[in-house]
Structure 1
Amino acid sequence: MTDVGFVGAGRMGAPMVARLVAAGHTVRAAGRTAEKRSAIEALGAAPVDDPAGAADGADVVIVCVFTDEQVRQLCLDGDLVKGMRPGATLVVHTTGSPRTAQAIAERFSHVEVIDAPVSGGPHDIAAGSVTLFVGGPDDAVTRLTPLLSAYGDPILHAGGTGAGQLVKLVNNTLFAAQIGLVSEGARLGARLGVGEGPLLAALTHGSSQSRVLSMIAAAGSTGAFASAVGEFVGKDIAVVRDTVAELGGDLGLLDALVEAGTRA
């Protein structure tokens, strides 16, 4: 079994830790407060005071914090990666810029870097069925797949380091655009005199059906669904816009729908 260091055992990270422990891996997870360390211990992992303690001697260090900036602070400005043992692997689950994962890999040649942003929620992780979009060297991804399979399925290798982030950013752009599309459809229905609830319920049985439409219909309205996912979608779309601008592109026809989706 693998010696795993874990940073970010929160809403998404906690069920990952639980699944890793259940699969027989040794997990040390960082918790800065006594309350967080108690929660980590309840998951079956060994709590430590800081990220460096979690990484010390680990074969694999998993980072699952909320923002790309937090990843940069931990991995580029802090001592997390610097203190990892030679030959260890860093896995970044946080959705962010592909440049961040690439910068970590370029700076720290003594470790391998895999970016593996997730698509799904804590319930998917707990069920072992969260989607992972993975970027990294072929051999490293092959070697880490059994470990990531503790909570990830499917595990989709998209290319070199940073490719997982690029796929996730396109995915979330389309997700926001589809929310915007359904929102515009609901507005059209309202102008024609059809209530949003009945309209959404009916459309899930028509040719316009999609996974996003089903999720919105289950929430009862585009507004209710957008309120539930807005914080996460808004964060990721900001990363999309920054990344596309850095690469000299734009969202094209998707831009208006993404805007409608983020303000639904």
Structure 2
Amino acid sequence: MNIAFVGLGIMGGPMAANLVRAGHAVVGYDVSGERLNALAEAGGKAAGSVAECVAQAETAITMLPDSPQVEEVAFGPDGLLEHGRSGLLHIDMSTVRPETSRRVAQAAAVKGIRALDAPVSGGERGAIDGTLSIMVGGHADDVEAARPILGALGTTIVHVGPAGAGQTVKAANQLVVGGIYGLVAEAIVLLESSGVDPAAGLDVLAGGLAGSRILDLKRHTMVKRQFTPGFRIDLHHKDMGIVIAAAREAGVALPLAGVVAQLIAAARAQGLGPLDHSALLKVIERINA
């Protein structure tokens, strides 16, 4: 299949490469020439604009930082809705506001373009390994049409509802992930302050009811204070804003979400934005300094 891929960053780059390995013809666009070169080295082709990228595509995937970038790519004069052909399947795998996904889907339908919101969980490792969890919002027929493509990117692909529903599920995911990082950080501080080896302590926790993917993947690097970004604090801060806005729209109180959002905001205010979200440990340490 001819696939356009717009946004070749930490997540999008390896995802596009996996599509090439799966046998698809992938044309990519990114503002970074270095990222375009990486796609070309993986067997894809580089485009000079969004319009050029999507012109011949049967499917267009976007993986962008936030709602403004998705809206620019979708609605701009050089954008996907202006230059994508009728029948195009647009899969937005960015994490954005649910209302952004609904707006894109409504405008796409007018152009004869099928739109899905399909944000992912699994981080950089999942993008590289093709083991992402993908939560998809949109029409059921379009989801089924997308499954062969999504199958090259993830192992869990679930249709969760109409347009925007994927983004709501992703917001819930980011709430849970942020909360667990905060609790693991507090556990490390408690263990170390009590004279207990945190590595041994977390090994026990990982094998019991407290076990989680976060403990499996990040407990060793957190104990070693290694915060190379797989998913940056800056992006998680943006995601928690989506969580709080979604809660307000739904008319529900999420008190723990407020605490998690404030911890992540504190991390960003302390200059930790470029680090991995496991760097919440630094915030808990500073509270106790």
Give the TM-score normalised by the residue count of structure 2: 0.81
Structure 1 residues 216 and 137: alpha-carbon distance in aligned structure 2, compared to 1, 3 A threshold: same
* Structure 1 position 56, deviation (Å): 0.8
Query: In the alignment, which residue of structure 1 is the partner of 2:238?
Result: 235
The aligned residue for residue 185 of structure 2 is: 183
Point out where structure 2 has 5 or more consecutive residues left out of the alignment: 268-279, 281-289
Give the whole-Å Cα distance in 1 for the aligned partners of 2:54 and 2:74: 11
Pair 1:133 & 2:135 matched: yes
Structure 1 residues 206 and 247: CA distance shift in structure 2, 3 A: closer
Matched, 1:208 2:207: no
Instruction: Give the drift of 1:86.
Output: 1.0
User: d(CA) in 2 for partners of 1:169 and 1:132?
Assistant: 13
Match of 2:44 in 1: 45
Aligned to 1:172: 174
CA distance in 1, matches of 2:168, 2:52: 31
AA matched with 1:50: S
In structure 1, how many angstroms separate the alpha carbons of the residues matched to 2:62 and 2:115? 11
* Aligned position for 2:22: 23
Q: Call closer, same or farther: CA 1:102–1:26 in 2, change over 3 Å.
A: same
1:31 & 1:210 partners in 2: Cα distance?
A: 34
Name the structure 2 match of 1:71: 70
Within a 5 Å distance, the mapping from 1:1-264 to structure 2 comes to: 2-32=1-31, 34-78=33-77, 79-109=79-109, 110-190=112-192, 192-221=194-223, 224=226, 229=231, 230-260=233-263, 263=267, 264=280
The CA distance in 1 between the partners of 2:227 and 2:214, in whole Å, is: 10
Q: Deviations over 1:158-179 (max 9, x none)?
A: 1111111111110110111111
Mark the CA change 1:180 to 1:59 in structure 2 (over 3 Å): closer, same or farther: same
Output the CA distance in 1 between the equivalents of 2:214 and 2:132. Answer: 17
- Stretch of structure 1 that moved more, 218-227 or 37-46: 218-227
> Taking every aligned residue pair, what percent have the same amino acid on both sides?
30
Classify the secondary structure of the residue corresponding to 1:154: strand
* Mapped partners of 1:246, 1:123: distance in 2: 33
**Pairs aligned (count):** 263
Equivalent residue letter for 2:239: D
RMSD: 2.5
TM-score, with length taken from structure 1 = 0.88
Q: Give the structure 1 partner of residue 274 of structure 2.
A: none
Cα deviation per residue 1:175-210 (whole Å; 9 max; x = unaligned)?
A: 111112223333444554435444323322343222
For 1:35 and 1:179, how far apart are their aligned partners in 2? 32
Q: Is the 8 A contact 2:175 2:260 kept in 1?
A: no
The alpha-carbon distance between structure 1 residues 189 and 260, as it changes in their structure 2 partners (threshold 3 A), is: farther
Describe the shift of the 1:52–1:201 C-alpha distance in structure 2 as closer, same or farther (beyond 3 A): same
Taking a change above 3 Å as real, the CA distance of residues 252 and 22 of structure 1, as seen in their structure-2 partners, is same
Alpha-carbon distance between aligned partners in 2 of 1:50 and 1:33, rounded to the nearest angstrom: 12
Deviates more, 1:230-239 or 1:2-11: 230-239
Per-residue Cα deviation, 1:4-43 (whole angstroms, up to 9, x for no partner): 1111122211222222122222221124565444333212
Per-residue CA deviations over 1:239-262 (Å, capped at 9, x if unaligned) read 222332344434234432454466
> 2: CA distance between counterparts of 1:234 and 1:161?
23
Note if contact 1:18-1:43 (Cα within 8 Å) is conserved in structure 2.
Answer: yes
Residues 1:136 and 1:48: Cα distance change in structure 2 (over 3 Å)? same
Counterpart of 2:144 in structure 1: which amino acid? T
Alpha-carbon shift at residue 225 of structure 1 (Å)? 5.3
Specify the SS of the correspondent of 1:106: helix
Q: Tell me, in whole angstroms, the C-alpha distance in 2 between the residues paired with 1:240 and 1:150.
A: 28
Query: Residues of 1 paired with 2:50 and 2:105: CA distance?
Result: 18
Query: In 1, distance between residues paired with 2:213 and 2:35?
Result: 35
CA contact (8 A) 1:180 1:258 kept: no
